[in-house]
Amino acid sequence: MSLRLYLFIMSAMTAGCVLAFGYIILTIDPETTNNIGLVLFYLSLLLSIVGAAALSGFVVRFVFFRHELIITTVKTAFRQSFFFAGFIAAVLFLLSRNLLSWLNLSILIIGLSLLEFFLLSYGKNQQVNNNLNDKNYKIIKLP
């Protein structure tokens, strides 16, 4: 997939999610809705934030980190946009249930940070393993 096609599809899907989010805000009453309405609200919010954050994160990385490969920039921006959107949606959900406290917020931040560090170290470990497997080693047989 070319970068231009990725940006076009991501922009179109983000616009669709933002329109769906706007429609849900205008039509669903949070006081009288059931769980399906709340799931639709948070899901459309999550997808809207993921798209907007992925596009803006890619643009910022593309402008400031020109030495990185495009695919690395896209993958990093997309991964971090999921974390950011999940964080915002979780905070808003906890806030709506009056469960948001400094302790819950700290646990959420620490958990997402640990997940990001794990994924970074896992990716580097996979890269090292792939480099070791790609080398052509000669096997010497002893008589």
What are 114-124's pLDDT values in tens digits? Answer: 999 998 888 76
Six token digits for residue 35: 């769980």
How confident is the prediction for the chain on average, in pLDDT?
88
- Decide if 80 contacts 57 (C-beta within 8 A): yes
pTM here? 0.81
- Decide if 108 contacts 87 (C-beta within 8 A): yes
What are 41-63's pLDDT values in tens digits? Answer: 999 999 999 999 999 999 999 89
Angstrom distance (rounded) from CA 89 to CA 68: 30
For the chain, helix, strand, coil in percent to 5 are 80, 0, 20
- Decide if 43 contacts 71 (C-beta within 8 A): no
What are 74-101's pLDDT values in tens digits? Answer: 999 999 999 999 999 999 999 999 999 9
- Decide if 3 contacts 70 (C-beta within 8 A): yes
